[in-house]
Amino acid sequence: MGHHARRLLIVSMLVVVGAWALPAAAITHQVDVLIDLDNDVATGCLVSTVEGPFAGVEEILRTLVETESVPVPSAQVVEVQRLSCVGGTTFSAPVQIDPGDWDVGLGLGVGGSHVIETFAPESMIPPSARVLRLAVVIEGSGDEDALLVTVAGGDDPIIFDRQSVLEIPTLGEWGLLLLAALLAFVAAVRLRRRSAVAVLVLVLLVAASGMAWAACILDGDPSDWNPGDQVAHDPGVGPGCIGIAVAALHVREGNPGICMRIDACMLFNEPPVAAAQNVSTPEDTRSPSPSPAPTRTATR
């Protein structure tokens, strides 16, 4: 094999190796929860979706998710934003609620979908907003899907009735801790001869006070969600979870604000693959003589 052929072969191998080394670009997905604060289509803004228009939107909770496939498939929430209705179809510029940085539960959602956890703070949903009408829209790489009703293909709107949620005393976190400690102290005094019972009472009181402000746990793990938290789903999303799709929406009261979980299918880029090239040259082919190296004259 001549010198020129060997050089072509080396260059071809470097191209193949370099292509394998290139990482696949991350794909950013925009997951919007459309929120009608007063369950009234006559107020708020109009949002166009692939499933039709959705009227009455006062707020949009936007969660940005990035997916990657190298070295292994992964997804992460990278930011949570708020957009407020200005009028008509116009919303304010996105305002950051949280910088994100928590994992998405791959394959852990309904129908093998991915669990995206997020939250709407109290400042976004006032206490006076008792009955919320919701919808979910997801977009990535130009593809889009939406879930506007409780069961895809049906007519019933997605309603989260906060009035049906058990009211919690309005003591703050420290107030609840103080109350729990006070009750535990009284119980310990009354039961000082029964130390084991006193300890049990203390544990139960602290646990009960903790439940009063159950936090939104943002880790992609659906184990802290109950079946009753699901307010909408698409039975058409099955195993495999290919492309862009909204599988389900879960909502519950929490701290801070309202906890939300969107089960969705998302896109993952694959790294580029270079096709092997066969480089051949007739045996004993002579390489062209290299051109003389250019010379440079030093100047003062």
pLDDT in tens, 199-221: 444 444 444 444 444 789 999 99
- Beta bridge partner(s), residue 160: 132
DSSP secondary structure of 10-51: HHHHHHHHHHHHSPPPPEEEEEEEEEETTS-TTSSEEEEETT
Provide φ and ψ at 4, rounded to 5°: -65, -40
The three-point CA angle 123-94-242 to 5° equals: 105
Could you tell me if 79 and 65 are in contact, meaning their C-beta atoms sit under 8 angstroms apart?
Answer: no
The 10 Å CB-count burial string (b at 16+, else e) for 54-88 is bebbbbbbbbbbbbbbeeeeebbbbbbbbbbbeee
- The set of residues, in sequence order, having a beta carbon less than 8 Å from that of 276 and lying 6+ positions away, is 16
- What's this model's pTM, rounded to 2 decimal places? 0.73
Is residue 2 over pLDDT 90? no
Q: How confident is the model at residue 276 (pLDDT cuts 50, 70, 90)?
A: low
- Mean pLDDT score, 121-137: 94
Q: How confident is the model at residue 164 (pLDDT cuts 50, 70, 90)?
A: confident
CA distance 288 to 170: 87
Span 96-110, pLDDT tens digits: 999 999 999 999 999
The pLDDT value recorded for residue 59 is 98
